[in-house]
């Protein structure tokens, strides 16, 4: 019996596949030489491991699978054959369209603490901090990658403009400090009060701020750098990459627990399948319908106007600007003086048909364009930028995957023998994926239980039958 989906679900799949003509992201310009790679002219008919999705989740899983094989007792045996598929070009989904920084917002930590308790908040904070260290180690290990993807260790500020929000955050901060101990969400974070908030952050009108560990990078170049190195290192006999190959359905329950993956170019029988499909997961694994829900966001690249020099001194931090509880933007200054900024959702929040439950990133969100929200953004919000002439160079949209409890689904797909998932990152995948993928790689290679991967994935990320009952 088909365990995930079948050809009879074709209409459903077509409505949940990535659209072929997305808006053009700043990060994906120019395209990498492997952007549309097909390692072989024809699609393989069998493989050991098949990964669906060639963004940060899929490529990181591929990278870790082969890294784990090389360092394991099984290294003397041939590596598994791995097939990487994507409906569009490599890294053309959320990873190629996001803000480019790695952090967790203080408000996100506090929301999690309210939901699951203080230990959960501390666990998430520690996992994100470990992610930053792991990304740093990866770009240092892979020669030249740090420069290619412009990796930077930084601090990030959550900046609060509303007096009541600032007072609330200060109260939460002091409460956590009084609780003491290393295992709290404030361990590597600091609070800045109103007296110094503007001067420390550079943000006009700041009433308070919380700083925390962060890093930034060019996400597309990081993913493509990993992919290029893996392809060069292992060759097509081990790593077969087939871009522009949409998956229509996955049928489990085959011989030896294998699955048949049906694509627009034919079928592949795989011993194991990894769904690195984020918002697009429900189209392939129906049990995640209503559990992972796609939604659309807006991002822009700002740059000095023609003939203008970048503002000096350069902004060295990344930001979340908390204009109010439902008005939060993110901002990532680039090494060249440009700015990547995303948000403006409050302009269209109530018009759900514009953004909710859609996989269409081929169009912009009209209220953002009509309001010219990102025009003059730096001039309005940052001290010293009033005469910068900074203007919108490009604007685009991307599709994210939300979950009812606000945390991703990681691990073995409930009820399936040889299928795993890492998806539903709620717009925060940069800060969660790399080590989650390492954990999934260990589960896939050696059938290691979720709890024993040794990668620090928080227990509440585990995908379970119970969590599948909680639907949006």
- d(CA 145, CA 460) in angstroms, rounded, equals 32
| 3 state SS of 249 | strand
* 427 and 355 assigned to the same domain: no
* 17 and 91 assigned to the same domain: yes
Higher local confidence (pLDDT), 70 or 158: 158
Domain hosting 267: range is 7-97+220-292+405-468
Band of the pLDDT at 5, cuts 50, 70, 90? very low
Distance of CA 464 to the CA centre of its chain: 21
Which of 8, 2, 15, 7 is CA-nearest to residue 289? 15
- d(CA 89, CA 251) in angstroms, rounded, equals 24
- Report whether pLDDT(13) > 60: no
- d(CA 385, CA 226) in angstroms, rounded, equals 36
Instruction: Say how many domains are in the chain.
Output: 2
The CATH number covering residue 188 comes to 3.30.9.10
* 394 and 410 assigned to the same domain: no
Is 135 within a domain? no
- pLDDT, residue 71, reads 74
* 285 and 322 assigned to the same domain: no
* 416 and 443 assigned to the same domain: yes
- pLDDT, residue 416, reads 93
Cβ contact 303:337 at 8 Å: yes
- pLDDT, residue 231, reads 98
Please give the model's pTM, rounded to 2 decimal places: 0.95
- pLDDT, residue 72, reads 67
Residue 85's H or E segment, with its range, is strand 82-85
- pLDDT, residue 10, reads 55
- pLDDT, residue 75, reads 66
The CATH number covering residue 249 comes to 3.50.50.60
Q: Give the residue from 402, 430, 446 where a domain finishes.
A: 402
Alpha-carbon separation of residue 228 from 42, 63, 235 (angstroms): 20, 10, 10
Q: Give the residue from 346, 369, 402 where a domain finishes.
A: 402
* 396 and 442 assigned to the same domain: no
- pLDDT, residue 183, reads 66
Q: Give the residue from 402, 420, 454 where a domain finishes.
A: 402
* 320 and 389 assigned to the same domain: yes
Radius of gyration of the chain (CA): 22
- d(CA 184, CA 58) in angstroms, rounded, equals 31
**Average pLDDT of the segment spanning 436-447:** 97
The mean-pLDDT minimum among 43-47, 254-258, 262-266 falls in 254-258
**Average pLDDT of the segment spanning 314-343:** 95
- pLDDT, residue 180, reads 82
Cβ contact 439:457 at 8 Å: yes
């Amino acid at each position: 019996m088909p365990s995930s989906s079948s050809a009879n679900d074709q209409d459903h799949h077509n409505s949940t596949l990535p659209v072929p003509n997305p808006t053009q992201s700043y990060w994906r310009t120019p395209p990498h030489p492997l952007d549309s790679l097909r390692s072989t002219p024809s699609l393989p008919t069998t493989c050991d491991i098949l990964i669906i999705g060639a963004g940060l989740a899929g490529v990181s899983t591929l990278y870790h699978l082969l890294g784990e094989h090389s360092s394991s007792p099984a290294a003397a045996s041939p590596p598994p054959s791995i097939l990487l598929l994507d409906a569009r070009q490599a890294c053309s989904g959320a990873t190629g369209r996001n803000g480019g920084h790695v952090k967790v917002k203080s408000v996100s930590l506090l929301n999690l603490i309210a939901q699951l308790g203080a230990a959960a908040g501390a666990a998430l904070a520690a996992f994100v901090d470990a992610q930053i260290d792991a990304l740093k180690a990866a770009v240092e290990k892979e020669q030249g990658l740090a420069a290619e993807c412009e990796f930077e260790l930084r601090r990030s500020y959550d900046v609060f403009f509303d007096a009541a929000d600032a007072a609330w955050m200060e109260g939460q901060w002091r409460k956590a400090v009084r609780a003491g101990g290393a295992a709290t969400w404030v361990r590597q974070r600091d609070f800045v009060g109103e007296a110094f908030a503007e001067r420390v952050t550079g943000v006009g009108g700041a009433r308070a701020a919380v700083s925390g560990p962060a890093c930034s990078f060019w996400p597309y170049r990081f993913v493509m750098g990993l992919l290029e190195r893996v392809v060069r290192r292992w060759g097509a006999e081990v790593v077969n990459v087939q871009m522009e190959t949409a998956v229509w359905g996955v049928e489990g329950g085959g011989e030896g627990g294998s699955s048949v993956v049906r694509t627009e170019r034919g079928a592949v029988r795989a011993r194991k399948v990894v769904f690195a499909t984020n918002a697009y997961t429900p189209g392939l694994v129906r049990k995640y319908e209503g559990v992972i829900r796609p939604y659309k966001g807006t991002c822009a690249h700002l740059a000095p106007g023609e003939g203008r020099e970048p503002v000096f001194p350069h902004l060295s931090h990344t930001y979340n600007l908390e204009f109010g509880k439902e008005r939060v933007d993110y901002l990532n200054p680039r090494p060249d003086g440009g700015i990547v900024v995303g948000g403006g959702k409050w302009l269209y929040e109530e018009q759900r048909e514009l953004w909710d439950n859609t996989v269409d990133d081929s169009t912009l969100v009209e209220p953002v364009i009509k309001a010219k929200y990102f025009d003059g953004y730096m001039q309005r919000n940052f001290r010293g930028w009033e005469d910068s002439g900074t203007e919108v160079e490009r604007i685009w949209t991307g599709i994210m995957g939300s979950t009812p409890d606000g945390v991703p689904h990681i691990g073995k797909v409930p009820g399936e023998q040889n299928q795993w998932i890492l998806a539903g990152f709620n717009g925060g995948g940069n800060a969660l994926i790399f080590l989650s993928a390492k954990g999934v790689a260990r589960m896939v290679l050696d059938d290691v239980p979720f709890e024993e991967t040794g990668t620090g994935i928080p227990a509440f990320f585990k995908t379970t039958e119970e969590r599948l009952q909680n639907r949006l």
